[in-house]
Structures are given as structure tokens and as C-alpha cells.
Structure 1
Amino acid sequence: MSLNAVESASHPGAGHGPDPYFRFTCVRDASDLETVYSIRYQVYCVEREFLDEAHYPTQLESDDYDAHALHVLATHRAGHPAGTARLVMSSPLGFPAMQHCVFSEEFGFLNDPSHPSLARYGEVSRLAVSKAFRRREGDTPYGGPPREESLSGEGADVLAFAPPRNSPEILMGICRLLYQQSKRRGITHWVFAMERSLYVLLKRMGFKYMPAGPETDYYGPVRPYVVSIDALERGVSRASPATFAYMVKGLEPALMPVGLQGQDASWRSVGSAA
């Protein structure tokens, strides 16, 4: 499946309505895609030095997988780009993680780009948050939690969302959009190659990925992980029902998860809310 910027916008639910501080959308045009590449260049080439700046003279970081990916963009209400990520779909190229990681045991089939099961898998990669939105003490490379004043809605420049309050706001919004788009596209599993710090951060948010292979050295120790969308839903709903309600808000009723044990069913009412 090949998805470019124009095709991405043709799917329903590309945006999420009136988020008060940040807007999370699928890229809609070439200008949005250029903004995505610019954020990635600044984070991956300039700041973290994972990639060589000299290879990107236009200061736009992109690769061959981008033609087969759904790109998402977080934009501050003042118009400033805040963060991005992509969901790479199955293609003859396989997934980016295959270049650097080895999948083992039950996930060994992920080493084969032609394996038919990959049609329902997607890799989340190129997660990047602009430095302008992670300047506070204690912020991680993936952003930080809402400021105290955001809870009252006065003078805030962050998205007010449900607890846990220590979850990075931009990361949570990006994950929400990727989750909903995965549901709409029939993606049942996510692949993610990540460093330990990001794994711990996501686990704290309820995103409990399974190790899928040994650790490898890729600009530091990185390990491949896999999570099913079903397991993701169960994990987030158990960690914080309120956060789970945020995740599913705006999701079509037919795509709402069912059968979660021991959970308050009140969140189901937000499924088709604006």
C-alpha cells in the first residue's frame, strides 16, 4: 500500500476537531509533508546527530519508506509545527526496522518483507518533537506533560487531555491519531524499533510493547518491539480509563473496541463525539 500526502487526506477522520492547543492531522499536501521532513531533519540530523546533515542539503530528511507511509503532524494553535511521526505500511521494501534489527522467535516472519502477514502490520517510526516544545526542565526528547496552567485553560499553549498528567501531551496526541487511523485501515499490529527510554515512557502510558528481537547498536542500543492493537487498547484502558476515552474520542462506532473486562463502559459514549 502506497500512501502519499494527497492520499492521506482522502481518508475520514484525518483530523480530530477542536483540540484547544494542538491540532493533530494526517498530512494534506506537499507543504505539510515538507514541514514533516523539516522537523525530522532538525531532530534526527542537527540535534541528535543520528543522521549525517551532509546527506540532506535541502535540510529535509526523507527516505524511500515515506512513499509507503501515513504521516501525521502536530501543529500548535498559533500555527507552529510541533511534532510528527509516520506509520509505514507493508510494501516490497518491508519495514525500516528490518534494516537494523533482527526479529526472532514468534516474530521471525518479520524478517521477510514478502511475508503475507505483514499486510496487517505497520511500523511507527520517525517520531520527532520540535525543540521549541520540549524546553522545560524534565522534558524528554519526546516532549513533556501539560503545564499546570493548561488545566484551567488560561494562557496555556498545550493540549489539555485526560490523566495521567505525566504523559507527554504531543506524543499522546500523535499516538491517538496513529491508533485511530490504524483502526480505519485494518492495521492490527504495530512494529517499533526504539531505545529503552522511549519503551519505558510508552509503557507508563499503557502502551505495552513486546520485545521482538535482540538489542542492536543503531546510534545507541535499540530493540525491536511489537504490539497488537487489541493489546494496546487493553493496556491503555487498564492504565487510565480517562486516557482511553481520549484515545477513542471521534472513532466511528463500528470501530470501537468491545469486550474489555472490568472497565467502566461510560467511555463508549464518546465514540462519535466531535
Structure 2
Amino acid sequence: MTVLSVNVNKVAVLRNSRGGSEPDVVRAARTCLYAGAHGITVHPRPDLRHIRPDDVLDLAQLTAANGVELNIEGNPFAPPREAYPGLLALCGQAQPAQVTLVPDGDGQITSDHGFDFDQDAERLRPLVAQFKALGCRVSVFVDAGCPSLARAAAIGVDRIEIYTGPAAAALARGDARAELAACAATAREAQALGLGVNAGHDLSQANLQEFLEAVPGVLEVSIGHALIGEALYAGLQRTIQQYLAILESVQQRPA
């Protein structure tokens, strides 16, 4: 069954907008786990706009105590700064089960593209080895239709995460056939190369089932923005349970 990792960045955005400690990121994550979420995702950025390194360490303790996975996303090329030790050093402290490498810059509001492995593979190779030496499973963010997945496999990554923003937009428009086909083809190619497949970005209750029915063998979806928005109306625990019901429904459908 596809597992759900909840991205709690947006809880930190709300906290940081006011200062102080409320809403409490760890309490929100604990509620997600109580409701049945399979893991927690965070994407700390060097500018500390939402999740901060101290949050990451607190969430590492929470997930370890509950026997679930912590997934830390980030740009492995971003240098350390004051209060941000760099992704590799942070993972060394937090010991996440998974690190997802994402090529996002400071000016991006959110991640919006995957790696170009023709350009980035050799820069990534030693970093992948260092993350794996920490005991992390390494996933890399890719666009649907990525032409160079074989190069990603060759540098030692374990999984890809398909960037699902374009597919989600196409599903909202009602003309998603081409985007879903591209995601499915990328998933099948990755699996043929021995890579696991994750997915994330703009997935929601409105599109998750259709996406998973079209794309084979997705191991994990990380969902944050839509989920936290939906929780404002329905409550966090109920929203998590609604996502889990979708995952269970897809699991039970005949192939």
C-alpha cells in the first residue's frame, strides 16, 4: 500500500508569521501520527522561512519514538549559513530514514522542477554516497518524462520522487491524460532500473485517487499544502483519516 508522509512545513509558516511557538509543529505532527499517518516530511530551507533546524531535531525525536519515518527534503548544493548547517550536516544530526534531494533555489516559493541529471549527476554522486553513509535512503526529485533516469540510478540513489505539480494542474483542468501517462511511464522506467517511486506536490483529496490509479507502484506520497488547508475545515485528524481511506481504496481495487 502507498504510505502517507505528512509535510508539516505549513504549520511552521503559520507559527513564524506571528513569532513564538504556536501553532506547535511537533504537536501537529504528533496528531498526524495519532491519526495514522505513516511518516512526517519536512523541507527546511536556508532562509528559515518555515521549518527550522531545531524543529527538524524535535521531529526526529518524535518519529523515532513512534517508530515511523522522517523524510527530510532539501537542496544538497545549498551552502551552510548562520542557523542553517547545510542539508548533509542536518541529516547527520537528525538521522532521517529518507532524504529527498531537491534542486530548489532561495527565490523559489516552492519546489517546481526536478534535477537535470545530464548536468547534475556527477555533482550529486559524492553527496549521495555521503547521505547513504549516514544510513539515509536517498530519493531525488524528478520531472515526469525525465530523460536521464538511468544516470540517476547509476549514481546510487534508491528512489525518485515524481514532481506531480503539472499532473495535479491537469487533473484540475480535466485534461490529465498526457500528464498521467508521463508520470506512469517515468514510474515504470524507474522501477525497471531498480528504483522505488515516491510522488508529491499539489496532491490532494481531489486528485490523489485518480493519480494513484494511473501511476503504478507508488511507495509513498508526501502531502502538505493541500492537507493542511483541508484540515482548516475538517480538522487535522479527520483529514488524515480521509487520506488514509483513499489510499486503502486504491489498494483494494483490482489491478
TM over 0.5: no
Question: Normalising to structure 1: TM-score of the pair?
Answer: 0.29
With a CA cutoff of 8 Å and minimum separation of 6, indicate the structure with the bigger relative contact order: 2
Task: Point out the structure with the larger helix share.
Answer: 2
Question: Normalising to structure 2: TM-score of the pair?
Answer: 0.31
